[in-house]
């Protein structure tokens, strides 16, 4: 029987025994307590009754004495004899008779002595000579007054017991009378020592209460004379002295526990205590306790014996029941295993024929049970598996077991792989084979998938690694060895951050793990180390590994080397930049005729005015043609305006010819970029529409000036081309700008052209999509505009209506503080400085010298090498103004040379440039913002720039 059932079987008899024991013990306890209570009540009654008897005896003795001596006063002979003796009668015989009478009365009353005293208190006659007491006369006076005997203990607190009997009040002669003295111990001890049974420990004690102690009046057996008890003590007689009554538990003079009934003697200062040993009094209760204990133990032993016998019978029945249930459960389990087993179960005889099959076999093979029973097992196998059956059967019959794999057939001819576990089992005198056939189709498929996954993992281009929560590498697969150079044996077991030293971009390792725990996945870009120390950019995509409780215990990461992707991205950006630049140059080519027209107009009157001024100043013309100086000044002003106009056109061309550089995006002025684009398109717009601008002052936007100008130019040219020629006064192309409350800048380019069909609006920004005729458009202009605006962080949108025109809107973000260049402010007070001008063009040198010489000491050099040598030798100049592009030694070379040889002079250089045409020059200008000016420059702007540089130096 199992242990848990045996424990349950013990529970019932133990519970019954506990109830029986509790019942018996409880009943015995209740009975014993009742018996003890009754015994105590009986003892209390007996002691109280005995104490009452003792008190009554004491009171009766006292009253007897008073009565006896009162009778003496009524005796005429005695009274006559007393009177005669008191009167001084000398008759000896009379005195002897009276003395004899008093002795007899004293002996009868158990008095110690009897005295006759006169009115003065003097002793006249005594049965025994004793010293007198001064209080005797007071007692006699009191007796005379009351007309009755007086007991001394009722009136005073003195030793002994005195009875005073005075002559009647009507007899003259004063307070003469009899004084009867008693020995209380001799008188009261017999009363105290009397007890109902001689074998009892009962004792009584009569005592007198004084102020501080209780003095016994009766003797105790074995007690010495002079014994007293303190009134504050715990003895029974002390308790009686304090006024307690009833039965009290205490200890006697031997230290034994006693029960005592205490009483006060009425009409006196006497107290009485009757005590008996508690053990003697309660002996019946103790005997009853022992008897009940023996009875309970005997009953418990009898009950336990009966319970054990009953329990053994129950255990035997329980074992039989458990065996029956176990056998039934075993049969049920076997039946369940046989009928509901997921595996095929076959029973074969010694020939290999099927004796029994389970329900799973019927379902899998697709045959009825009757068809299967009696069939040889070979009939269930494929031909290939049947060919090896004989050897397998022989081995199984020889070894008693067999584990093998085979392929079986269903009734429909389909086959499936099995794993065979066969065991030969003897049943009586016969032997049978018990075979379990497990369909391993899914297992084989899972193994094949696992092999495929392993092959796929081994051929992945990404590295796969698994980490535990501490960051220790637990798996190293995929292209991890190729990517990092570490083998799996070298990597597994090491901390990942110590092996590959990943530096996270935009996050930390702790934040990355926190995201894995929170979201289950995480992605981050890092820079990691290969085995040789080479850094590679890596993108990590990690998935959490969780235990059965759902806690994150690690992660599996797929690490992708971004080196090739970054290179391809750089190539894509470079190609895109080339495409944008090519589109920009194509726009310039398209506008070249108009640009030439715009340059030729101011150039024609510029040259004519200069020729006119030269003739007037040289005196070569006829005298009649002489003009006033004011006309000459006007001609020069017109020439200057024409030159500035040409300079603005050239600056616009330079803006469009500038090539994009990485990281060159700074704050761009919307008005400047839009004006440059509008000027470039003026000639194209004249025969078609009016080109109107409403460009308000805005904050710089996050873009480069040439990118923004290219977008505006493309949109303006599209607007111009959407308007047919011939009616420019009725059409217009309008370019406007405004600032949103949030700081973003809105730039719109609208036209009154033909508009765009609604079905085309969703595709206009697609590359190579165009509605223009073949040969007039590539379909890249708007796609490039969309890409440039998106790169600026802005949004481009379009609204159009057929026959009414189109409006493009650019929503651009403002430039950040780092992107914005603060304009140069003219210092409040310009200081004079020593300035060196370096340029390979002598005319530029002379013009700059003439511009700066009124305010500064100026030296010019056309040889940059000579300038470098002079500066490197220590010659001091407050400022060096140097051309950026020169044939032999460029301004950039001069700056680098001086940075090595004389850094302080290099820091005081300002550069002039007519255009940055090489990547190096563009990068140099981007790295030195605020330290260069474009040619042509306004003289006042040059003076302001120089003054600001001197103030900052």
Q: At what angle do helices 891-901 and 864-872 cross, to 10 degrees?
A: 20
Between 658 and 352, the higher pLDDT residue: 352
Q: What is the pLDDT of residues 330-353, one digit of tens each?
A: 666 666 666 667 888 888 898 889
Residues 6 or more apart from 286 whose CB is under 8 A from it? 279
Residue 531's alpha-carbon distances to 466, 483, 563, 749, in angstroms, are 19, 9, 16, 57
* pLDDT of 155: 45
How many other CB atoms sit within 10 Å of the CB of residue 152? 23
Query: Taking residues 811-821, what's their average pLDDT?
Result: 72
Pairing verdict, β 535-546 and 521-529? antiparallel
Q: What is the pLDDT of residues 392-441, one digit of tens each?
A: 888 888 888 889 989 999 989 899 998 989 999 888 778 899 899 998 88
Residues 6 or more apart from 734 whose CB is under 8 A from it? 692, 693, 694, 748, 749, 750, 751
Percent of the chain scoring above 70 in pLDDT: 82
Q: Which of 57-71, 797-811, 816-830: highest mean pLDDT?
A: 797-811
Phi, psi of 169 (to 5 degrees): -70, -25
Residues 515 and 269: their CA atoms lie apart, in Å, by: 102
Tokens 């020593």, residue located:
834
Query: The tokens of 697 are what?
Result: 């002052």
Query: Taking residues 715-738, what's their average pLDDT?
Result: 87
Q: Which of 616-625, 699-708, 898-907: highest mean pLDDT?
A: 898-907
Q: At what angle do helices 3-74 and 283-340 cross, to 10 degrees?
A: 170
Query: The tokens of 3 are what?
Result: 């242990």
Surface-to-core class of residue 541, CB atoms within 10 Å of its CB (0-12 exposed, 13-18 middle, 19+ buried): middle
Residues 533 and 525: their CA atoms lie apart, in Å, by: 18
Confidence of residue 328 (pLDDT cuts 50, 70, 90): confident
Secondary-structure percent of the chain, ordered helix, strand, coil, rounded to 5? 50, 20, 30
Mean pLDDT, the chain, rounded, equals 79
Confidence of residue 274 (pLDDT cuts 50, 70, 90): confident
Q: What is the pLDDT of residues 57-95, one digit of tens each?
A: 888 887 887 887 777 777 777 777 877 887 777 788 888
Query: The tokens of 150 are what?
Result: 């007086």
Q: What is the pLDDT of residues 593-624, one digit of tens each?
A: 455 555 665 666 567 667 777 777 776 655 54
* pLDDT of 829: 54
Tokens 């391993």, residue located:
440
Phi, psi of 786 (to 5 degrees): -60, -45
Residues 753 and 731: their CA atoms lie apart, in Å, by: 7
Between 656 and 109, the higher pLDDT residue: 109
Residues 6 or more apart from 469 whose CB is under 8 A from it? 552, 553, 554
Cβ-defined contacts of 383-388 (< 8 Å, 24+): none
* pLDDT of 824: 45
Confidence of residue 775 (pLDDT cuts 50, 70, 90): very low
Q: Which of 235-249, 413-427, 572-586, 591-605: highest mean pLDDT?
A: 413-427
Percent of the chain scoring above 90 in pLDDT: 8
Asked if residue 579 lies in contact with residue 780, where contact means CB atoms within 8 angstroms, the answer is yes
Residues 433 and 406: their CA atoms lie apart, in Å, by: 17
Query: Taking residues 159-182, what's their average pLDDT?
Result: 74
* pLDDT of 216: 77
């Amino acid at each position: 029987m199992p242990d848990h059932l045996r424990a349950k079987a013990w529970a019932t008899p133990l519970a019954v025994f506990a109830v029986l024991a509790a019942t018996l013990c409880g009943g015995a306890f209740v009975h014993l307590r009742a018996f003890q209570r009754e015994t105590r009540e009986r003892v209390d009654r007996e002691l109280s009754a005995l104490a009452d008897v003792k008190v009554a005896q004491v009171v009766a003795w006292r009253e007897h004495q008073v009565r006896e001596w009162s009778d003496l006063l009524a005796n005429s002979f005695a009274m006559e004899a007393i009177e005669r003796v008191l009167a001084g009668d000398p008759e000896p015989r009379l005195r002897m008779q009276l003395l004899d009478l008093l002795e007899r009365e004293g002996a009868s009353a158990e008095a110690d002595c009897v005295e006759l005293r006169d009115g003065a208190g003097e002793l006249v006659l005594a049965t025994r000579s004793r010293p007198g007491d001064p209080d005797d006369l007071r007692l006699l006076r009191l007796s005379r007054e009351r007309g009755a005997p007086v007991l001394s203990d009722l009136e005073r607190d003195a030793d002994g017991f005195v009875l005073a009997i005075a002559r009647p009040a009507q007899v003259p002669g004063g307070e003469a009378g009899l004084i009867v003295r008693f020995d209380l111990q001799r008188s009261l001890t017999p009363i105290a020592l009397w007890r109902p049974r001689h074998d009892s420990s009962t004792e009584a004690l009569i005592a007198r209460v004084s102020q501080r102690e209780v003095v016994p009046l009766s003797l105790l057996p074995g007690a010495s004379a002079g014994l007293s008890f303190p009134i504050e003590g715990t003895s029974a007689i002390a308790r009686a002295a304090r006024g307690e009554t009833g039965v009290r538990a205490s200890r006697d003079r031997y230290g034994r526990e006693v029960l005592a009934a205490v009483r006060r003697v009425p009409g006196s200062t006497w107290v009485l205590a009757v005590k008996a040993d508690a053990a003697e009094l309660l002996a019946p209760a103790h005997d009853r306790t022992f008897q009940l204990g023996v009875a309970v133990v005997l009953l418990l032993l009898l009950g336990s014996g009966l319970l054990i016998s009953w329990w053994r019978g129950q255990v035997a029945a329980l074992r039989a029941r458990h065996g029956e249930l176990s056998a039934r459960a075993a049969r049920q389990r076997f039946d369940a295993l046989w009928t509901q087993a997921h595996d095929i179960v076959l029973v074969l005889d010694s020939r290999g024929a099927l004796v029994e099959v389970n329900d799973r076999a019927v379902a899998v093979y697709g045959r009825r049970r009757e068809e299967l029973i009696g069939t040889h097992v070979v009939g269930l196998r494929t031909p290939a598996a049947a060919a090896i059956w004989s050897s397998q059967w022989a081995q199984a019959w020889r070894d008693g077991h067999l584990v093998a794999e085979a392929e079986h057939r269903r009734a429909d001819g389909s086959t499936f792989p099995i794993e065979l576990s066969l065991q030969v089992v003897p049943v009586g005198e016969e032997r049978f084979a018990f075979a379990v056939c497990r369909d391993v189709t899914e297992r084989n498929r899972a193994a094949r998938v696992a092999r495929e996954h392993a092959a796929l993992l081994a051929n992945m281009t990404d590295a796969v690694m698994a980490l535990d929560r501490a960051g220790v590498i637990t798996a190293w697969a995929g292209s991890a060895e190729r990517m990092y150079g570490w083998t799996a044996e070298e990597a597994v077991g090491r901390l990942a951050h110590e092996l590959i030293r990943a530096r996270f971009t935009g996050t930390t390792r702790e934040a990355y793990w926190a995201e894995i725990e929170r979201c289950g996945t995480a992605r981050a870009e890092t820079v990691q180390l290969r085995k040789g120390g080479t850094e590679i950019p890596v993108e990590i995509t990690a998935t959490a590994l969780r235990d059965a409780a759902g806690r994150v215990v690690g992660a599996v990461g797929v690490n992708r080397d971004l080196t090739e992707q970054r290179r391809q991205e750089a190539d894509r950006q470079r190609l895109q930049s080339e495409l944008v630049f090519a589109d920009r140059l194509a726009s310039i080519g398209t506008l070249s005729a108009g640009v030439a027209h715009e340059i030729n107009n101011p150039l024609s009157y510029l040259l004519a005015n200069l020729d006119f001024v030269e003739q007037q100043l040289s005196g070569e013309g006829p005298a009649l043609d002489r003009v006033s100086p004011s006309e000459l000044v006007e001609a020069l002003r017109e020439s200057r305006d024409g030159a500035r106009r040409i300079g603005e056109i050239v600056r616009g061309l330079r803006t469009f010819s500038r090539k994009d550089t990485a990281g060159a995006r700074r704050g761009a002025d919307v008005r400047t970029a839009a004006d440059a684009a509008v000027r470039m398109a003026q000639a194209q717009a004249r025969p078609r529409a009016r080109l109107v601008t409403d460009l308000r002052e805005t904050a710089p936007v996050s873009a480069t000036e040439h990118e923004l100008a290219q977008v505006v130019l493309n949109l303006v040219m599209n607007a111009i081309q959407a308007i047919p020629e011939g009616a420019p006064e009725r059409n217009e192309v309008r370019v406007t700008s405004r600032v949103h409350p949030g700081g973003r800048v809105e730039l719109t380019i609208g036209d009154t052209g033909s508009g765009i069909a609604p079905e085309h609006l969703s595709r206009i920004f697609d590359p190579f999509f165009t509605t223009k005729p073949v040969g007039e458009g590539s379909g890249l202009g708007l796609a490039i505009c969309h890409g440039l605006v998106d790169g600026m962080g802005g949004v481009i949108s379009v609204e159009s209506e057929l026959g009414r025109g189109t409006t493009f809107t650019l929503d651009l973000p403002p430039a950040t503080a780092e992107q914005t260049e603060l304009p140069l402010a003219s210092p409040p007070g310009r200081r004079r400085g020593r300035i060196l001008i370096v340029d390979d063009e002598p005319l530029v040198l002379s013009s700059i010298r003439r511009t700066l010489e009124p305010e500064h000491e100026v030296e010019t050099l056309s040889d940059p090498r000579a300038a470098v040598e002079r500066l490197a030798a220590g010659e001091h100049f407050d400022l060096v103004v140097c051309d950026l592009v020169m044939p032999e030694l460029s301004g950039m070379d001069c700056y680098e040379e001086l940075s090595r040889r004389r850094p302080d002079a290099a820091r005081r250089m300002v550069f002039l440039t007519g255009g940055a045409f090489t990547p190096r020059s563009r990068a140099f200008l981007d790295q030195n913002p605020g330290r260069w000016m474009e040619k042509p420059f306004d003289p006042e702007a040059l003076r302001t720039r120089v003054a600001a540089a001197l103030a900052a130096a």
